[in-house]
Amino acid sequence: MKQSRLIQGNEACALGAVAAGCRFYAGYPITPSSEIAEYMARHLPEEDGVFVQMEDEISSLGAVIGASFAGARAMTATSGPGFSLMQEHIGYAVMAEAPCVIVDVMRAGPSTGRPTSPSQGDVMAARWGTHGDHPAIVLTPASVTEIFELTVRAFELAETLRMPVIVLYDEVLGHTRETVELPPRVEIAGRRTPRVAPTEFRPKEAGPDGVPPLPAFGDGYRFHVTGLTHDERGFPTDEAEVAGRLIRRLHAKVEAHRDDIVEVETLLCDDADIVIFAFGIVARAAKEAVMVARAQGLRVGLLRPRTIWPFPDREVAKITAGASVVLVAEMNLGQVVREVERAVAGNARVEGLFRADGEAIDPEEILQALAPDLEGAAR
């Protein structure tokens, strides 16, 4: 259904969350994510949901985790400084295996930075911001429509894999208005509940796919929630073997579903001599650069991750196999480029186009960065 209405990226995020069944939001408003909180505050009560404005971002994610264990699909949204504060509870959600969605609308940092300016500086914070060995799922939409889709997707992954899922996009997308095709209804797979009787239930015992079933608190099943390393009963352990098994299972459940989680989109990569790797708003600039280059007969393509973590290394290796140059364009000083280098493994030259001044990369800059290599890309 194509609407003749313009929808802002942050509104699409909130619409996606509500469509996916989110009925609990706790947050602390922060530019440039505040419109998500504003929308949820207005519309969650209409859906018999709960909106809570918390005192800070630490408690926000804490409340979200609590609501999740009580059975709700729950979300919070923030930006750089708030995302830093949430890191402790992101780790807690990984360890306790609390399904939840965290949206980070990236602004220029570090610290307070430039609150109203875009960046892509949180890519590694989204992967490694919380301490310890842990898996991460991070989705990177590149349009208002895709913010809706991937917010829905984030809930599905969070609920089915029992873990936090991060939706990561920049201020430009958060505040841009575009026409959006909204599905009439959305249905997603939810969390798996126990099939055994309450007396036989072991809270952290997983099946072959590594995901333990999750009852809602109050359903009559024994409940044990902890950030401590624990055994299958949920009780803290000091046994190395049990500890190792838990950490490996937390990773294995993501790896087992890796091919379902990782999504990329390609544009004219089949014969491309130069492949541009870009995500978020930069992918939109790259798409226009590809169209301009192609109109001049130059073999340039675009590889765009919809999932940035787990990193689509196999896809990058395969799609860039025939290219001689891979240009990584990102609004930071080079966070994703090393991942691309790792995946390309010397089979092509990897170049970077970086910008960290709070301005978006535009198509012209990408074409300029490609200029030295365009001769080789001529047909």
Partner 1 sequence: MSARLDLRFAGAGGQGIVMAGRVLAEAALRAGRAATHSQAYGPASRGGASRSDVVIADEEVVFPLVRRPRVLVILTAEAHRTYGDDLAPGGTLIVDTEASDGDDGLVLPIVETAARIVGTELASGVVALGALSAAVDDTDLETLEATIADRVPASLRAANLEAFAAGRSMVR
Q: Which residues contact partner 1 by CB under 8 A?
A: 4-6, 31, 114-117, 172, 175-179, 281, 284-285, 287-288, 291-292, 295, 360, 362-364
- The secondary structure element, H or E, covering residue 33 is none
Q: Which is nearer to partner 1, 106 or 163 (CB)?
A: 106
Q: How far is the CB of 299 from partner 1 (least distance, A)?
A: 17
| CB nearer partner 1, residue 263 or residue 365 | 365
Handedness of CA 296, 297, 299, 304 (dihedral sign): positive
Nearer to partner 1 (CB atom), residue 53 or residue 116:
116
Residues 199 and 196: their CA atoms lie apart, in Å, by 8
- Min dist. Cβ of residue 284 to partner 1 (A): 5
Which is nearer to partner 1, 72 or 369 (by Cβ)? 369
According to DSSP, the β-strands at 114-118 and 50-53 are: unpaired
Encoded tokens for 267: 């544009």
**Nearest distance, CB of residue 296 and partner 1, angstroms:** 12
Cβ-based nearer residue to partner 1, 164 or 280: 280
Question: CA 124 to CA 152: how far, in whole Å?
Answer: 23
Q: What is the closest distance, in whole angstroms, from the C-beta atom of residue 8 to partner 1 in the complex?
A: 8
Instruction: Name the pairing type of β-strands 164-170 and 138-139.
Output: parallel
Q: Rounded to an integer, what distance in angstroms lies between the CA atom of residue 9 and that of residue 137? A: 20
Region of residue 97 (phi > 0: left; psi between -120 and 50: alpha; otherwise: beta): left
CB of 20 to partner 1, least distance (A): 25
| H helix intervals, 106-264 | 123-128, 144-161, 171-175, 240-256, 258-261
How far is Cα 31 from Cα 25, in angstroms, rounded to an integer?
A: 17
Between 22 and 172, name the residue whose CB sits nearer to partner 1. Answer: 172
- Least distance CB 115 / partner 1 (angstroms): 5
Closest CB to partner 1 among residues 142, 254: 142
Query: What are the backbone angles phi and psi of residue 66, rounded to the nearest 5°?
Result: -60, -45
CB of 283 to partner 1, least distance (A): 10
Considering only CA atoms, which of 201, 212, 226 is closest in space to residue 96? 226
